[in-house]
Structure 1
Amino acid sequence: MPVPDYLQKELDNIDWDHIETSNRQGEELPAEINGLLSGDDEIAAAAATRIWWKIVYQEDVFEATYTTATIIARMLPYCIDKPVVTERLFGFLYEIMIQPNIRRDGYEDMVSSMAFLIPRLYQRAGVEDRLTASQAQYILIHVGKNLPETATLLRREWQDINHARERRAYALFCLGRWYELADELNEMDTYLASAFQLETDVLLQAIIAINLVRNADDNAQDSWVTYIMDILGSEGKIIAALEDMQPFIGENGAPQYLIDLLYNTNGTALAKHIRSLIMALPSCALTHQQALMGAICSTLFTPGYFEMMEVIPVIGHALRALTELGEKDPAFITVHHEVLSSYEVRLGI
Structure 2
Amino acid sequence: MDGLFDAQAHIWNYTFKFINTMSLKCAIDLGIPDIIHNHGKPMTIYHMAKALSINPAKSRALYRLMRVLVRSEFFVEVGISDEDESYWLTPASRLLLNHNPFCATPFCRVVGGRLMQEPWHYLSDWLTGDRHLSPFEMAHGATFWDHAERVPRLNRLFNEAMASDSSLVNHVVLRECGEAFRGYKSLVDVGGGTGEMAGAISVAFPDMACVVLDLPHVIAGSKGKDNLTYVEGDMFEAIPQADLVLLKSILHDWDDEDSIKILKKCREAIGSSSSNERGGKVMIIDMVLNNHGGGDKAMEDQLLYDLAMMTYLNGKERDEREWAAVFTSAGYSSYKITHSIGVRSLIEVYP
Going by fraction, where is strand more abundant, 1 or 2? 2
Give me the TM-score of the superposition, normalised by structure 1.
0.27
Which structure's relative contact order is higher, taking Cα pairs within 8 Å and 6+ residues apart? 2
